Each structure stands twice: as structure tokens, then as C-alpha cells.
Structure 1
Amino acid sequence: MSVSNQMMKGLLDGAILGLIAKGETYGYEILEKLKAHQFPEISDGSIYPVLLRLNKKGYITATVRQSDNGGPKRKYYAITTSGEHELKVFKDKWSYLNVGMNNLFEEGKNAQ
């Protein structure tokens, strides 16, 4: 199933902030976690612009350092206090929207 780009953009910001809030991580690991959680239509090229945007807004910080397994250097991301606040706002909005959508669909189901 295809999801519109605008819908994905809004959800991806919140999803990535949520993953980073669970602990410092890097781009490829974020991509793998999103796929593991069955997040739709994720490509390598789609998460890096989001990470850059979140970094510019001050919601996350980026630190380049050697990977844990001795491979090439990686950019590790951590959430900031501002990012934690933004994630809470996102979760509140998501819950509010989710309740409304569920009520709408349940109402339609009961009418049939």
C-alpha cells in the first residue's frame, strides 16, 4: 500500500525522534529499526534529510565517531531537551488524532 509523501513526512519525523529518544543511534540502525517495526516505504535516502532537519531544529545532536565494531566512522544521533519536548507534542497530537480516527471508523462499522 502506498502512503502519500506528505503523510509520511510528518510521521517519519515523529518516528525517528521516538527511536532516537530510546538511545543514541546512527542512520542505518534507524532505518533497520523502522523496517523491523513495519514502517512503510523507507529507503536510505529518505531518513537522512529528516535527520538533517531535526538536527537543524535543535531536536537532536550528531556526533561523528568510530563505530563500536571497528568499522568506518559513523554519525551518532542523540535527542536534546528540545527534541524530547517536540516528541511529547508529537505523541499528544498523534493520540488526539488517533482517537478521532478510531472513533470515526468504529462509528462507520457499527452503522453497517
Structure 2
Amino acid sequence: MGTQMTEMLKGTLEGIVLSILAERPAYGYEITAELRERGFTDIAEGTIYALLIRIETKKLVAVDKVPSAKGPPRKVFTLNDAGRAQLRDFWSTWNELVSRIDNLPHESKGH
């Protein structure tokens, strides 16, 4: 992944993870695997865990510790009302940004 893509992802990764959690509760590794399945293959697992700590601190998720057969309990993250509101704001902002960017000249459009 190029530097430009990495920089763009930094600003959007929280919204992407909240979108995954809007589909179903998940723990860190499940979120990382889901991101990889959706083409975000270069995101390090550590990046996701740091982001999960941030969204937990911001109280955007509920966290349950679920027993694991392979070690310590897993932290399962569930989007809460504040997280859903944040996700709505993310998509609203994203759509506004895309609309503005689409109005700029693109080299690929023959400019």
C-alpha cells in the first residue's frame, strides 16, 4: 500500500471499524480478519487494537469479556448509541467530502 493510501486510511479507519461493528459485535482479531477480507490487507493488527482502545475510551462501544478456549477472555466490542451516532456523522461527512472531491478535475477523466 502506498504512503498516500496509508495517510488517507488514518483518517477513515475509525469509521470503517465502526461500520464493521454496526453489522455485528466482534473482537479484535475478527475485525482485522474482516478488514482483510474486504481488501484492507496492509492494516497491522496492532493498529486495530490501538483503535479499539480509542473507541472504547471515547465510549463508542460496549465491551464484554467472553471466555476463550485458547487463553484469556476476549474483549467483544458492540456498537452502542454513541457509536451509531458517530458512524452516522462519519458517513455524512464522508458523503460530503466525496461530493466535493468528485467535482474536482481528475487526470483519469482526461483532464
TM-score range, shorter chain: 0.7 to 0.9
Q: How many Å apart are 1:41 and its aligned residue?
A: 2.3
Alignment of 1:1-112 (within 5 A): 1-4=1-4, 6-39=7-40, 41-67=42-68, 70-72=69-71, 73-105=73-105, 109=109, 112=111
RMSD of aligned C-alpha atoms? 2.0
Q: TM-score, normalised by structure 2?
A: 0.85
* Corresponding letter in the other structure for 1:101: I
1:44 is displaced (CA, Å) by: 1.0
Residues 20, 89 of structure 1: CA spacing in aligned structure 2 closer, same or farther, 3 A cutoff? same
Which letter maps to 1:32? Answer: A
With the length of structure 1 as denominator, give the TM-score of the two structures: 0.85
Percent identical: 31
What SS does the aligned partner of 1:45 have?
Answer: helix
Cα 1:105–1:31, aligned 2, differ >3 Å: closer, same or farther?
A: farther
Shift of 1:7: 2.7
The Cα of 1:39 is off from its aligned counterpart by 1.9
- Tell me how far apart the structure 1 counterparts of residues 52 and 41 of structure 2 sit (CA, whole Å): 18
**How far does residue 109 in structure 1 lie from its aligned partner after superposition?**
1.8
Quote how far apart the aligned CAs of 1:8 are.
2.2
Q: How many residues in Structure 1 have an aligned counterpart in Structure 2?
A: 109
Gaps spanning 5+ residues in structure 2: where?
none
For residue 23 of structure 1, report the CA deviation from its aligned partner: 0.8
Query: CA offset at residue 3 of structure 1?
Result: 3.6
Q: Secondary structure at the match of 1:104?
A: coil
* Structure 1 unaligned regions, length at least 5: none
